[in-house]
């Protein structure tokens, strides 16, 4: 009996030892793979069509990635659903560091509108904020208004006569326009378009009198066809064409909103892979050639690492959720989308 117990004890110890060895072997293997990361090209999902600001930003990163990453970034455009189709693909991808995606202010807004498969704030892991650019309040040069005060005065005297264009229902530019109207106490009708270029064309053609857009309008500022009355950011823009334009707050309208862009990964990314990505993207974002490309697009490089970027993500979620609910914009947008 004692002999049998001894044999059983030895067998149990043997199994335990083998299990520990196998476990250690697997752990070591994972660590080795992570330390070697990346060993193959990294896919970056852009949830919009080619040629837009997000796509151009990521392709600018693509040009400098090999220098710092040792592997290329492969841009994959997955448009549709206001970005949802691409972000859903990103959220459901394997969190191994080989599938990343471009995110922005719209990622938060789409979640708050309640029409997404994933709750992006918890399904995605922000890696780096890359750039920030202001939302502009623009009119055609031949309009009489020289500042926001004059525009508001006219709108109060002619309720509903001014139409404002923007690049899509529920997007940051639309929300900013609605916030502006409520804060200023005026009635202006919103007209959605399929992107910035359509909105700009409508403004130039006189189909709308006001545009809430992005710095993509800067070429029309240069040629004198458009006048920017305000930027909606917290402080004045560093973009040369906009540096002398006052903010809405400076002109007595307490509305602040800007559009940021960055890179995220699916949740549960290994810590060492995340660290490696963060270090690499910091070098890419601060590369002089990349900065030049971004600034030429009318954007400002505004680097944030994972910790700071994640904190901003949480703060903006709470801020926008509160604004949308308290202002009634959430109900308005839900009705417009039906």
pLDDT for 336: 64
**Percent of the residues in the chain that have a pLDDT greater than 90, as a whole number:** 53
Query: What is 12-53 written as a DSSP string?
Result: HHHHHHHHHHHHHHHHHHHHHHHHH--SS-EEEEESS-TTSH
Residue 68 CB burial class (10 angstroms; 0-12, 13-18, ≥19) = middle
144: exposed, middle or buried (Cβ count in 10 Å: 0-12, 13-18, 19+):
exposed
Asked if residues 58 and 73 have their Cβ atoms less than 8 Å apart, the reply is yes
Asked whether the predicted pLDDT for residue 102 surpasses 80, the reply is yes
Distances (CA, A) of 37 to 30, 130, 286: 11, 22, 21
Sheet with 189-192, side-by-side order of all strands: 189-192, 163-166, 210-213, 136-140, 226-231
pLDDT digits (tens, 9 = 90+) for 120-134: 888 999 999 999 888
Q: Mention every residue, 6+ apart, whose C-beta is less than 8 A from residue 313.
A: 108, 121, 126
pLDDT band at 75 (very low <50, low <70, confident <90, very high): very high
Could you give phi then psi for residue 266, rounded to 5 degrees?
-60, 150
Q: Which of 328, 322, 263, 306 is nearest to 54 (CA)?
A: 263
Q: Which helix (H) or strand (E) holds 148?
A: helix 148-157
321 exposure class (CB count in 10 Å sphere: 0-12, 13-18, 19+): middle
Fold of 42-132+261-327: D-Maltodextrin-Binding Protein; domain 2 (3.40.190)
Query: Where do the structural domains in the chain lie, given as residue ranges?
Result: 1-29, 42-132+261-327, 136-256
φ, ψ of residue 321 in degrees (nearest 5) = -60, -45
Tokens 């202006």 label which residue? 188
The domain made up of 136-256 is a member of CATH 3.40.190.10: yes
pLDDT digits (tens, 9 = 90+) for 209-257: 999 998 778 889 989 999 999 999 988 988 888 889 999 999 999 999 8
């Amino acid at each position: 009996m004692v002999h049998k117990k001894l044999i059983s004890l030895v067998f149990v110890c043997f199994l335990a030892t083998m299990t520990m060895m196998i476990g250690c072997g697997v752990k070591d293997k994972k660590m080795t793979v992570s330390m070697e990361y990346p060993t193959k090209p990294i896919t970056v999902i852009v949830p919009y069509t080619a040629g837009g600001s997000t796509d151009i930003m990521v392709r600018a990163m693509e040009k400098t990635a090999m220098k710092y990453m040792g592997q290329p970034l492969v841009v994959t455009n997955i448009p549709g659903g206001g970005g949802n189709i691409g972000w859903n693909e990103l959220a459901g991808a394997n969190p191994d560091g080989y599938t990343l995606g471009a995110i922005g202010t719209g990622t938060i807004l789409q979640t708050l509108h309640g029409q997404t498969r994933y709750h992006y704030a918890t399904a995605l892991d922000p890696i780096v904020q890359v750039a920030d650019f202001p939302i502009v309040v623009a009119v055609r040069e031949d309009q009489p208004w020289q500042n926001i005060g004059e525009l508001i005065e006219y709108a109060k005297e002619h309720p509903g006569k001014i139409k404002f264009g923007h690049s899509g229902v529920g997007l940051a530019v639309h929300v900013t326009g609605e916030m502006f109207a409520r804060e200023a106490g005026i009635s202006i009708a919103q007209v959605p378009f399929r992107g910035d270029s359509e909105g700009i064309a409508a403004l130039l053609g006189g189909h709308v009198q006001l545009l809430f857009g992005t710095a993509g309008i800067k070429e029309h500022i240069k040629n004198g066809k458009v006048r920017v009355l305000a930027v909606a950011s917290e402080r004045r823009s560093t973009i040369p064409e906009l540096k002398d334009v006052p903010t809405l707050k400076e002109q007595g309208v307490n509305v602040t909103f800007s559009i940021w862009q960055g890179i995220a990964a699916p949740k549960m990314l290994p810590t060492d892979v995340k660290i490696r990505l963060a270090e690499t993207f910091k070098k890419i974002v601060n590369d002089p050639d990349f900065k030049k490309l971004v600034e030429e697009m009318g954007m400002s490089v505004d680097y944030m690492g994972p910790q700071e970027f994640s904190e901003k993500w949480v703060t903006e979620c709470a801020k926008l959720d509160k604004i949308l609910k308290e202002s009634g914009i959430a109900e308005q947008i839900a009705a417009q989308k039906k």
